[in-house]
Structure 1
Amino acid sequence: MKGSLQKKAYFKRYSAFVADSRVKFRLGARCCRNAAAQCRLLLRPPALPEPSRKDTPMTPLETFQSQKWQAIEAYQAQRNPLAFFQAHTQAADTWIASVWAAHFADAGLCLLAIGGYGRGELYPYSDVDLAMVAADEPDAAVQENIARFVQALWDGALKPAVKTGSLQQLLQAADEDLTADTAFLEARFLCGDRALAERAVNALNLRRDTVSFMDGKLLEMQQRHDKYAGFPLEPDVKNGAGCLRDIHTMLWLARAQGLHTDFYALARDKIITRMEAGLLRSSHRRLAQIRIELHLAAGREENRLIFDLQGTLAENRDLCRPDKQTGIEHLMRDFYRTAKTVMQLNGILIPMLRERVSLPYPRIVHDLDAHYFQIGNKIAAKDLLLFQKQPAHLFILLQMWQQHSDVNGVAPKTLRAWWAAARKTDGAFYRNERHRALFLQFFKTGKGLTHIMRFLNLYGLLAKYLPNWYKIVGLLQHDLFHIYPVDDHILTVLGNMRRLAMEEHSHELPFAATLMHDFPQPYLLYLAALFHDIAKGRNGDHARLGRADARQFAEDHALPEADGELVEWLVGEHLLMAATAQKEDIHDPDVVRRFAEKVQTPERLAALYLLTVADIRGTNPKLWTAWKAQLLQTLYRSAHAYLAGSLHTVLPENRQQIAHNALKVQGTDDKTIRRLFAMLGEAYFARFPAETAAWQLGILVRDPEAACFDIRPGDAEGSLQLFVYMPDRDRLFSELCELFAALRLDIATARIFTTEHQYALNSFVLGLPEHSNDTDRKHAESSLHRAMTQFMEGCWQSKAPSAAKPSRRARWNPIAPHIGITETEGGQFSIEVVAANRPYLLADLSRIFSRHHIRLQYAKISTLIDRAEDVFIVHAPQLHEAAAQRLLRQDLQAACTGHLL
């Protein structure tokens, strides 16, 4: 008796938790997280005593709950998703049948399991899809009984999704709704009138237009891929490209044609090969494991591999050795490679299934050459053994595709034969000189290059040809701004480079497109794009290692020496221009000189600029802003002028003369100009560009002793320029940083200058929040003007920093703060801070500088999504001492980790 009471107490506690959880899941993220935490505690319920003959038998609900948790425990021990589905589905069938028997005694209704439940693929927290079919429209009494039946299922911790109606109503719903028709495709009898159920299923199958159904599912698949493509780092295991829905779609297309939906049965029917059946089965198993474990870890239906759960799944799989990041990397790489396998099979099997019903194009066939013919818009081989007999045709097929603009793909049987041969290639394939020449020709031709490289990557031949490529397939980058795995990032950069060469896209980036048009050998830029990150994930400097790979490739493919050197140099220095533009003062003549001397030639400069633009745009769409475009263009023009020997406009004495001329045009007399220049000192013209100096001096000349500020639109879209002129004081810069943070304005660049008479002349470029329009800019300018007026009058009330949490990505992919302190050529110090970004970080850093008596002279602020990379040029003689540097590092480290005292 005691054992029975323990069992009932456990099940009562579990049922109360489930009912309470459903409420909590509707109350918000915090309650949801609490419920999930409780659920995880219940994943291993307390051991229950074995029932004895004297124990009270368990109710059907208790039996279902016990069987479900036994299925979960068995899965956790064996990680067999098929066994879990079988046990979970069978438990649900039994429980639902018992509830049905308690509510429906007559035979006027039937109950069908449909959708995933009908398929027997019931995940821990998935909806249970059901259809209740009546011969005629149910009356009020039956409808009331149906409502009680559904409520009883909810009380049993199921999430029923029930379609009800007469047979005619359900047939009409299937005609009008593709999702409903798909769900009925997997209908399975559960309870009630079996004859009615068979009549319903037969009627549904007879009414289905197979061609329309397949067209609808293929369009739905494309729309689904587009919808979920925006989450590459947190992929949806159910709906993303190459995920479970793609496998289901293949099986739906087969079932709609009356075929088996077991993988090996399809192989026996010669629809797919045994190898393809094995790959589909193993891919489905891996994806199903991830989805089951996501549900269990979240304690609810969760189909996305969100950052919060990636570490949990990696730990549960015992992958986190030597550290958690390594475990996440292994988990995600396994996922990406599995998804790629499904996409490979999709490209072969779905067209083959589609062609069994009808062709989507007129069957126009004509020869392309002795080996290939074109059928519709697909290229096909006359001999399917061609690729094994002559491996060069693995590339020749794609070359034919590249040459014929009306070809947009490979016929499915040819693709199957091509892939089978590609999988058998080895190192000898790369060493063949003809193969090398064919591969290089892809880049020299240019047209269709991105599609061909993506095709080679998808089907694995790129990793066979370039062995180091395999190491980056599906490799994540834990830097808080790359959103693609490395291989996808590289191919996106390559696509961006090709886009610059296409006239129809020249309006997007006119300056870069002009440089690309004038570049003599674009194929060298394409090769540099292919190799620029190929060494990621290896121990060491990826730019240096990639440079060695590029050098070897150039030698193997007999590139002219100068061409090989350019590709090698671009790969080795591909970060140079972005780092200079984002971390240094590009208006400083010394910075421009050092950069130009590293580049050496105008051809290298143009090539590096184009690669940098393509790289940033291929890292994360949010990273490319008008401000970054303007920075890179300014650096390019200054460096080009230096290399051409015409950099005189950036020299301080020339800036001073330009400013003098501008003030004269305004009617300012020479005496006033000389007095103003004396107050500012010569260093002012080394710090500020000529155009900025002319703007500021035009205001200061009115009354050099009066504190003032001015705001104007920035050179880049979505930015404002502000300069502040007032008596200098401690923490002035820090207070301004707090003001900007309160207004949600990001500092892109800050120039801090102190005049000869101890006035601060601080200049800022401020970025508006993302997606701001002209109205937003005007509102931001008005708010800034109002706040600055209060600040200058001493009435601005600094708001306490909010305890804002870092983003989920920053929380689960943390970066260790980096503090770099180096002495510059001019005796100043450069302090570089790299950390996870957060509100008021810059204000905290500036307070630390004040505390350590460090005079800030220039700041270059770079925010890369969730990552801050800030560089400060400071005057601090005390930093020559190691002890002072150590204390400063400690405080900056504390600020970066949110532990500032």
Structure 2
Amino acid sequence: AKALGYADDPVRLGVETFMREYYLHARAIHRMSARLIARCQEGLARRGAAGRRVRRAALADGLVAYEGRLHLAEPGALLKDPARILRVFWHAQQLGIELGVDLERAVEDAAPTLAADAWRASPALRHLFLAILRPWGRVATTLRRMHDTGVLGAYLPEFGALTCLVQYDHYHRYSVDQHSLLAVETLEGLAPGQGAYADELVEILAEVERPELLMLGILLHDIGKAEGHGHAEKGVPLIKAVTRRLNLDPDDAALVEFLVEHHLLLSHVAERRDLDDPKTVERLARVVRFPAWLTMLYLLTCADIRAVGPGVWNAWRAALLRELYVRTRTRLAGRSPKPPRRAAVAHRIVQALADPTYRPAAEAHLARVSDRYVRSTSPQRMAAHVRLIERLRDEPVATELFHYPDLGTSDFVVVTRDTPGLFALIAGTLAAHQVNVLSAQIETRADGIAVDTFHVNDPRGDAIDDESRWERLTGDLRRTLAGEVSMEALLTARPPRAPAAPLPKPVARARVTVDNSVSDSRTVVEVKAPDRVGLLYRVTRALAEAGCDIATAKIATDLDQAFDAFYVTDRARRKIEAPAAVAALRHAVAAALDGVDELDARPV
């Protein structure tokens, strides 16, 4: 692209402009080739039908259907009455047939007439367009036909601006217009029998009373990308312009605008926030407000992620989103889970251990852990923790693995005496062995025993069930905790990854945020920085050196950027709220990141 004179601009990379122009020309060639093939097929069909009577079905709007295609009976009818253009697609959708070549050409020629303000704002066309979005089964197919003939972009110029728009990265497989259409098709294609996850989504989808509004939100969720980065925010004025032009009912307009503005909300909260912190769901419920809106946002989020490209959607991400959806829906319904009684939990721990002699240990364990741990940990997992704690009598550190192949994840549990920087040492050891950390739950008992659980997978997104690999990792962890090897030496000796395809390296601005509004009991430190080996170790080491205890960590990577959130307290388990302490914490983390040039602190 650079050799051909395509330069970067404030909105997009030169290579993205180059690829868009290429795709536009390739699209035009494809359209001409497809039309030529269709014309030949029609000619062969007419030749084969010579001598026999062809059944013709006359329709309204000057249309006639025969031989599986829709044709125009009145030449020039579309130019005389542009409203008929959308009726063409409505008839084709209802009958489940293709457009004839001559009709398709006539539609393309007439499509620019829909760009007139009067037609875009026509109540009759709005009613017809929403009718096209309403029925289930052929919405995506009809929208693709409208897009290919230029009708969709003429009627909705905000969508037309996405045509062949490219994002140059490893993450997005499709151009923005094709991704949006694929998201509609993904949701429409859900059917029973595709698995437990799909079956549940089908049931949820059946609750949607206005599917046309959901489809409109999915179709237009990425319109802000025409304006460059920060597309969710930039899409807000664009979608408001659409709803005003279509003159949607105020409640309908508010829903569609909500879906576009917040289409990233569920995925960001699920992957970057502590779902066991009560305030997470409380804040989300305040934004969503209505169960019906939550349901549509959940369906849009699932369709959006699944339509990004292969490998982006996985069982782990699906489970996180589902848990967040269920918890928020429960909150909106006015219900809240009852806190478990510790005596009852102790009884269930002993049952899981199948050994009554463990009762004193189970009761002692519950007496020394936090309410949050009791609320968010299953008795079966607590039983495993009790066994690991018993092992500390004979060894300095005890570990155990729990694999979830269907989710593509593993849980790595570490139990040992707490020391400053323990999280960082574990995170560094995992990085040295190419283990990807998705999240972490940290529990330090009143007697100083740490029970740390790391939710992990390999860089390909699979559970790590190679026992020899874990043996090497736990051996290095023991040596690191004992001070026999430094973390820097361990990371330096790390085997190199296979080289990835080169991508442009835009200037990335690392950002450190300290936020005391997210949680009532913990300060949240967020880090956005270019992802690299050992980043998690460096950040968590800086937190430890700043006198912070980490309670929860959420680790997410988007393209080549790391989005990490750490729920922390001081050593006395209090939030860090003094302005001077907040500033010192920000600068401590910033010092661990090379090239940090933007710091941010929200009100504390």
Which TM-score applies when normalising by structure 1? 0.58
1:719 maps to 2:420: no
State the shift of 1:354 in Å.
Answer: 4.8
2:586 pairs with one of 872, 879, 885 = 885
1:829 maps to 2:516: no
State the shift of 1:631 in Å.
Answer: 0.5
Tell me the residue number matched to 1:435.
125
Matches of 2:288 and 2:236, distance apart in 1: 16
AA in 2 matched with 1:882: A
Sort the Cα spacing of 1:883 and 1:674 in 2 relative to 1 into closer, same or farther, 3 A.
closer
1:617 maps to 2:306: yes
Tell me the residue number matched to 2:601.
none
Matches of 1:614 and 1:448, distance apart in 2: 16
RCO higher in structure (CA 8 A, sep ≥6): 2
Matched residue SS, 1:756: coil
CA deviation digits over 1:541-590, x for unaligned, max 9?
54345344444544554544433332222222222211110101112222
Matched residue SS, 2:59: coil
Matched residue SS, 2:563: strand
Matched residue SS, 1:623: coil
Tell me the residue number matched to 1:208.
none
Matches of 1:541 and 1:441, distance apart in 2: 32
Tell me the residue number matched to 2:84.
393
1:662 maps to 2:351: no
Matched residue SS, 1:862: strand
AA in 2 matched with 1:400: H
Sort the Cα spacing of 1:495 and 1:618 in 2 relative to 1 into closer, same or farther, 3 A.
same
Tell me the residue number matched to 2:330.
641
2:172 pairs with one of 482, 487, 494 = 482
Sort the Cα spacing of 1:830 and 1:416 in 2 relative to 1 into closer, same or farther, 3 A.
same
CA contact (8 A) 1:857 1:875 kept: yes
AA in 2 matched with 1:689: T
State the shift of 1:359 in Å.
Answer: 6.2
2:550 pairs with one of 852, 856, 871 = 856
1:817 maps to 2:534: no
AA in 2 matched with 1:376: E
User: Percent of pairs identical after alignment?
Assistant: 24
AA in 2 matched with 1:374: A
CA contact (8 A) 1:361 1:376 kept: no
CA deviation digits over 1:674-705, x for unaligned, max 9?
3223333546436x434575344442464675
Tell me the residue number matched to 2:188.
498
CA contact (8 A) 1:528 1:571 kept: yes
Matches of 2:168 and 2:529, distance apart in 1: 13
CA contact (8 A) 1:804 1:839 kept: no
CA contact (8 A) 1:593 1:642 kept: yes
Taking the TM superposition and a 5 Å limit, the aligned residue runs for 1:789-828 are 791-792=477-478, 798-800=490-492, 801=494, 807-812=500-505, 815-824=508-517, 825-826=519-520, 828=522
Taking the TM superposition and a 5 Å limit, the aligned residue runs for 1:291-440 are 310=1, 312-313=2-3, 316-317=4-5, 319-321=7-9, 325-355=12-42, 364-369=54-59, 371-405=62-96, 407=97, 409-427=98-116, 428-440=118-130
Sort the Cα spacing of 1:814 and 1:341 in 2 relative to 1 into closer, same or farther, 3 A.
farther
Matched residue SS, 1:379: strand
CA deviation digits over 1:608-666, x for unaligned, max 9?
211111111122332211100110111112222223333224x4xx2745532312434
Tell me the residue number matched to 2:541.
847
CA contact (8 A) 1:725 1:762 kept: yes
CA deviation digits over 1:796-840, x for unaligned, max 9?
883524566974454445644333332344464322223343333
Matches of 1:744 and 1:361, distance apart in 2: 64
Matched residue SS, 2:209: coil
CA contact (8 A) 1:848 1:892 kept: no
Matches of 2:207 and 2:450, distance apart in 1: 46
Matches of 1:802 and 1:693, distance apart in 2: 33
Matches of 2:113 and 2:296, distance apart in 1: 37
Matches of 2:513 and 2:401, distance apart in 1: 33
CA contact (8 A) 1:475 1:487 kept: yes
Which TM-score applies when normalising by structure 2? 0.84
2:473 pairs with one of 787, 804, 809 = 787
Tell me the residue number matched to 1:194.
none
Matches of 2:595 and 2:127, distance apart in 1: 55
Matches of 1:532 and 1:449, distance apart in 2: 16
The CA RMSD over aligned residues, in Å, is 3.4
Matched residue SS, 1:483: coil
Matches of 1:757 and 1:329, distance apart in 2: 57
Q: How many residues align?
A: 573
Matches of 1:896 and 1:481, distance apart in 2: 26
AA in 1 matched with 2:251: A
AA in 2 matched with 1:448: R
Matched residue SS, 1:648: coil
CA contact (8 A) 2:279 2:520 kept: no
Matched residue SS, 1:394: helix
Tell me the residue number matched to 1:766.
456
Sort the Cα spacing of 1:692 and 1:537 in 2 relative to 1 into closer, same or farther, 3 A.
farther
Matches of 2:68 and 2:31, distance apart in 1: 20
Matched residue SS, 1:535: helix
Matched residue SS, 1:868: strand
Matches of 1:890 and 1:670, distance apart in 2: 47
Matches of 1:719 and 1:322, distance apart in 2: 39
CA contact (8 A) 2:350 2:383 kept: no
2:202 pairs with one of 505, 513, 527 = 513
AA in 1 matched with 2:581: H
CA deviation digits over 1:369-424, x for unaligned, max 9?
2532334222211223221122122111111110113x1x2121221122111134
1:699 pairs with one of 387, 390, 393 = 387
CA contact (8 A) 1:696 1:723 kept: no
Sort the Cα spacing of 1:506 and 1:519 in 2 relative to 1 into closer, same or farther, 3 A.
farther
Matches of 2:293 and 2:165, distance apart in 1: 30
Taking the TM superposition and a 5 Å limit, the aligned residue runs for 1:159-198 are none
Matches of 2:387 and 2:408, distance apart in 1: 24
CA contact (8 A) 1:672 1:701 kept: no
Matches of 1:601 and 1:536, distance apart in 2: 27
1:869 maps to 2:563: yes
Gaps of 5+ in 1: 1-309
